[in-house]
Amino acid sequence: MKVILAQPRGFCAGVVRAVETVEQALEQFGAPVYVRHEIVHNQHVVQTLRNKGARFVEALDEVPENAVTIFSAHGVASDVESEARERQLRVLDATCPLVTKVHNHGRQYAVRGYQLILIGEAEHPEVIGTMGQIPAPVALVRNVAEAQALTFPEHTPMAYITQTTLSVDDTRAVVEALKQRYPQIVGPDTRDICYAVQNRQTAVRALSLCTDLVLVVGSVKSANAMTLCDIAGAHGKPSYLIANGNAIRREWFDERTTVGITAGASTPEALVDDVIAALARIGPLEIETLPGREEHVQFRLPTGLIARQ
């Protein structure tokens, strides 16, 4: 079996920053530290941090007074920030800087009087946080049909922002539908979608062209991992979203199969290694890495933490 690894794959700079925030908080302040929502959407990462002393909660009323509290990489609404201040919690904000950039764009548009459209998935924590950061009504659309169904008057000042983890192609189609419906609409270029998401989507497209089957290592909760699986499928290749090597099924393969492997932005490389090990139990492997964009982005840790030397 030939195995081809996508490049880049796995952890992005925002996830690295979020995970290191929890680890450094545990090291500096001791256990427990409290994390609102899963720090990133990967159970392996969450359980590893839980074993070290992190406690994951869905609401701040589960956090004791004055406790060290970390906001996840997905961001939170402004009323969550206010509640944390009122309860005098020691907050470390691990919101991905690229999500914060979306919040800033949205607030700027709102202040300037635009009717704001958010392209995203209603139940995703990033979308919930973003909508809660905008001091004005926000209309949420997920697809072209919903964009075409908007009923704002034709000359309404309009602007859009996007969830960072969406498919670039799908988002571009929604933006085009918005522009047809409201030619005066303004917003960031689709290139402003998270660089890591774009890079991984580009890599999985290239992977789909040279493989018979694609395995995407990641969580079903991870929007960007599910998108990678969808992109591979759209290129006519069987694609499977798997959490780890235990999800491998022998019937997916034959001895002539060329298998592509990629991983969502919240997936640690250890889980990719676990999948490779599972494939190796089926038979001998020939492994190579597809050429792709190298990422060197690094984000500073939140204020209040000292970076490792």
- Spatial neighbors of 59 by CB under 8 A, at least 6 apart, are 36
CA angle, residues 219, 196, 176, in degrees to nearest 5: 100
Give the contacts of 259 (CB within 8 A, at least 6 positions apart).
Answer: 1, 2, 3, 4, 211, 212, 213, 214, 215, 253, 279
Least confident of 93-107, 114-128, 188-202, 208-222: 188-202
Catalytic residue among 27, 38, 126, 251: 126
Quote the CA–CA distance of 122 and 134 in Å, as a whole number: 15
- What per-residue confidence (pLDDT) applies to 189? 76
pTM exceeds 0.95 for this model: no
Bigger pLDDT: 304 vs 202: 202
For 43-58, write each residue's pLDDT tens digit.
Answer: 999 999 999 999 999 9
Domains in the chain, ordered, with CATH?
Answer: 2-10+195-289 (3.40.1010.20), 13-96 (3.40.50.11270), 98-192 (3.40.1010.20)
266 band by pLDDT with thresholds 50, 70 and 90: very high
The confidence score (pLDDT) of residue 192 equals 63
In sign, the C-alpha dihedral spanning 201, 202, 205, 207 is negative
| Residue 308: predicted pLDDT | 62
- When pLDDT is averaged across residues 284-300 and rounded to a whole number, the result is 94
Q: What is the pLDDT, as a whole number, of residue 186?
A: 96
Q: Give the separation between CA 167 and CA 46, rounded to whole angstroms.
A: 25
pLDDT digits (tens, 9 = 90+) for 148-202: 999 999 899 999 999 998 888 889 999 999 999 999 999 987 666 788 989 999 9
In percent, how much of the chain has pLDDT > 90?
88
In three-state secondary structure terms, 302 is: coil
Please give the mean pLDDT across all residues of the chain: 94
Contact 124, 151 (CB under 8 A): no
Is the pLDDT assigned to residue 76 strictly greater than 70?
yes
In sign, the C-alpha dihedral spanning 85, 87, 89, 92 is: negative
27 assigned to active site: no
Please give the structure tokens belonging to residue 252: 């997916």
